[in-house]
Structure 1
């Protein structure tokens, strides 16, 4: 079985967060979702667990950080083209995200933008030229 990643995020409004993560390409897995959590599948190996604060707190005694005030991580997700990066960002903003909390970057072989989810977590959405990857 290939390695998988489950990113666990505390959320203040589960329904709003589901809308946002659907907009960036996720689909909800009902097998691991209920009124306290939603498993959003971004790919076969990438899942985002959206957890209400009460549910998240059942996994850790540490306080939940305010992601709008601090940065504990930057999450990055690839897309197939520059146009898909821009279209995804537009959908994410329409679903309650904040566009470009970090400046966009265009390095020629790589293009990235960022979006902040409704709880302040920042996702870098980017495209890299496959030819540049092959020559690296």
Structure 2
């Protein structure tokens, strides 16, 4: 069984956060969701647990970072093509997120963009042509 990842993120408005991530392409797993948390499924192995601040505080005694003012984490999702990268960022912006808070990366064999969700979390979306990347890295060695 492949390893799974559950990224836990504090959110200020759970219904708004759920709606945003559904518009970007995640689906809500009701089995692991309630009024304080929502499990958003991006793939069979990637999940985001959106937690109200009260719920998030149950797991840490550290202050919750305001992601609009400080960086707590950068989350990167892979995409199958350059077009998919652009589509995800477009959907995020249409859903109320901010497109490209980080510089666009275009190295030919690797292409990436980013979006910021309404709670300030930054999501990177990257595509890489593995064959071309391997070849490019081999020439540099």
Matched residue, 1:108: 108
* Equivalent residues of 1:17, 1:50 under 8 A apart: yes
Provide TM-score, normalisation by structure 1: 0.94
Unaligned runs of at least 5 residues, structure 2 = none
User: Hey, which bits of structure 1, 4+ residues long, moved more than 2 A?
Assistant: 130-136
Deviation at 1:73, TM superposition (A): 1.7
Q: Distance in 2 between matches of 1:92 and 1:19?
A: 11
Q: Deviations over 1:11-48 (max 9, x none)?
A: 00111111221123211100000111100011111110
Greater Rg over alpha carbons, structure: 2
- Give the secondary structure class of the aligned counterpart of 1:22: helix
Aligned: 1:30 with 2:44: no
Task: Quote how far apart the aligned CAs of 1:2 are.
Answer: 2.1
SS in 1 for 2:10: strand
8 A Cα contact 1:23 1:88, kept in partner: no
Query: What residue number does 1:130 align with?
Result: 130
Shift of 1:64: 0.5
State the alpha-carbon separation in 1 of the partners of residues 89 and 78 from structure 2.
12
- Counterparts of 1:53 and 1:63 in 2: how far apart (Å)? 10
User: TM-score by structure 2 length?
Assistant: 0.91
What does residue 9 of structure 2 align with? 9
Give the conservation status (yes or no) of the 8 Å contact 2:89–2:115: yes
* Contact 1:11 1:17 survives alignment (8 Å): yes
The correspondence of residues 1-136 of structure 1 with structure 2, limited to 5 A, is 1-133=1-133, 135=135
- Aligned mates of 2:17, 2:132 — CA distance in 1: 34
In 1: Cα distance, 2:21 partner to 2:116 partner:
11
